[in-house]
Amino acid sequence: MNPHLYTFLISFVLFLLLLDWEKIHINIYGGIIAAVFKLIFNLDASILRLWKYNGVNSHLPDSILFSDNINIFTIGFAFTMGILFLQFLPHNIYLQLTHGLLWALFYVLLKYISAAFNILTYIYLKPYGASHILLFLLSLAWFKTNFLKPNKFLNT
């Protein structure tokens, strides 16, 4: 089985198990923003040759979606985890910082495991170089706190 498909399936099963369907209309923005961010970052990393995905299109059709540049599985992973990040975001700002640190740590751990199992080869970057994700997650928390307030007329 394709290792990228396997990681996506695990994240999708976790997503379905943990998703709060009543607040999906608010939290889906986190998934959309995370997917766009991951797509842009994958394309930039491909141009700058920071890392290389291994075996993305093995046992899959030869398509741009399953290429080393785009890798739809990492974008799907970012979408599901962006929604869950916003869903479990606490109200307290210090807890939001802790929440962001934990999710960033899990992301760096995923990158480290991916490199250990030869799913990802780092050329000019190391797994801990993925610490940029902390700034992204804190920006996402700020976005939800300031712009995605539940509407009192929608009973959310």
The CB density around residue 62, as the number of other CB atoms within 10 Å, is 7
Would the CA dihedral through 145, 147, 151, 152 be positive or negative? positive
The residue whose two tokens read 């889906």 is 28
Structural domain boundaries in the chain: 3-147
Contact between 35 and 75 (Cβ < 8 Å): yes
Q: Which pLDDT value is given to residue 127?
A: 62
Average pLDDT, the chain: 81
Residue 41's pLDDT is what? 84
- pTM given for the model: 0.82
CA 91 to CA 45: how far, in whole Å? 33
Indicate if the pLDDT at residue 149 is higher than 60: yes
Tell me which residue has tokens 């990681």.
7
Query: Tens digit of pLDDT for each residue in 7-61?
Result: 778 878 989 999 999 999 999 999 999 999 988 887 887 788 777 777 666 555 5
Provide Rg for the chain, Cα atoms.
Answer: 16
Provide the pLDDT for residue 152.
Answer: 47
Distance between CA 56 and CA 60 in Å, rounded?
8
Element (H, E) at 64: none
Name 105's Cβ contacts closer than 8 Å, sequence gap at least 6.
none
* DSSP symbol at 5: H
| Neighbouring residues of 147: CB distance < 8 A, sequence distance ≥ 6 | none
